[in-house]
Amino acid sequence: MNQAVAKADPASAAGKGGAPRHVAIIMDGNGRWAKKRLLPRVAGHKQGVEAARRTVRAAGDLGIEVLTLYAFSSENWRRPASEIGDLMGLLRRFIIDDIDELAEAGVRLRVIGDYRALSPDIVSLIDSAIARTAENSRTTLVIALNYGAQDELVRAIRSFAADAVAGRIDPQTINDADVEARLDTSDLPPLDLLIRTSGEKRLSNFLLWQAAYAELMFVDTLWPDFDRDALAAAIGQFGQRERRFGGL
C-alpha cells in the first residue's frame, strides 16, 4: 500500500461524525452581493474580507486545524486592472490590520501559490507575517494567492523533470507520496472538506489533487454573508457524510 492510500485510510481520516481537520473555501459571490445592493464590486470584496475574518475566528473556535481560503487565483489576473488593484489593496490592509490579532489568537499563516509574483511590498508583508506566526499551533490559515492547481502541478512536474535530468531520481520510482511532497500543501493535513459559496458548482482550478477524496459542499450563500453559523452547518453536514475512500 502506498503512502497516499494509507493517508486516506478511513480509520485515520476525519469524518464519520468527527470534525474536519482541513477545510478549504472557494469564497465566491462578492460581485453579486454588491450588484444586488447597487454597490461597486469593491464593496462586495470589502465585505468578503469581513467574512474571511469571521470565518478564521470561527474555524479556531470550532476546532478546525487548517482553513485554506482561495483569495486570488492565477486566472484572476484576467480581471480589470482596477479590480486587481482593489483586491491587492484589501490583501495588503488585511495583513497589516489583522496580523496582531492573528498572532495573538495562535494562528499560523501560510500561503500557497506563486505569491512571489505579487508586488514586492506585499511579498515582504507576507514573509514577515509567516515568520512571525510560524510557531503558532492553534489554527493554520492558508491563503491561496496567485494559486492555480494546474500551475502547482506544473511546478511539481518541472522539479521532477529537473531532478530526473540531473540523475537525482529514477522516474520509475515516483509515487503519489512523492508528488504530494512537491505540492504547495506538502506540510498540511489531507483536505477533508471543500466548500464553495454562491451556488456555483465548479472547482475553478482549486486544490485539484488534494480534493481527490475531499467532501464537496456547494452552498447558495454569497461569500460576504458567510458566517460562523454557515461554517458550523457545513461541519455538521460533513459529520453526516460517509467517507469510503474507494473502499466499501
In whole angstroms, how close is the CB of 93 to ligand FPP at the nearest point? 8
Cell numbers given for 26: 472557494
Rounded to the nearest 10°, the torsion over CA 73, 76, 82, 88 is 10
- Total residues in contact with ligand FPP, by rule CB under 6 A: 19
Q: Is 100 a catalytic residue?
A: no
- 193 in Cβ contact with 238 (< 8 Å): yes
Q: Is 45 in the site for ligand FPP (CB under 6 A)?
A: yes
Q: Which of 15, 20, 29, 60 binds ligand FPP (CB under 6 A)?
A: 29
Q: Does 49 bind ligand FPP (CB under 6 A)?
A: yes
Q: Out of 14, 64, 109, 143, point to the residue binding ligand FPP (CB under 6 A).
A: 143
Neighbours of 88 (CB within 10 A): 16
Q: Is 109 annotated as a binding residue?
A: no
C-alpha to C-alpha distances, 157 to 116, 162, 164, 223, nearest whole angstrom: 19, 9, 10, 33
Query: Is there a binding annotation on residue 203?
Result: yes
What does the alpha-carbon distance between residue 39 and residue 226 come to, in Å, rounded to a whole number? 18
State the CB neighbour count (10 A cutoff) for residue 23. 28
Which one of 21-29, 105-113, 121-129, 233-241 is the stretch in contact with ligand FPP (CB under 6 A)?
21-29
32 is in an annotated binding site: yes
Q: Which residues are catalytic?
A: 28, 76
Task: State the residues that interact with ligand FPP by CB under 6 A.
Answer: 27-32, 45, 48-49, 52, 69, 71, 76, 87, 90-91, 94, 143, 198
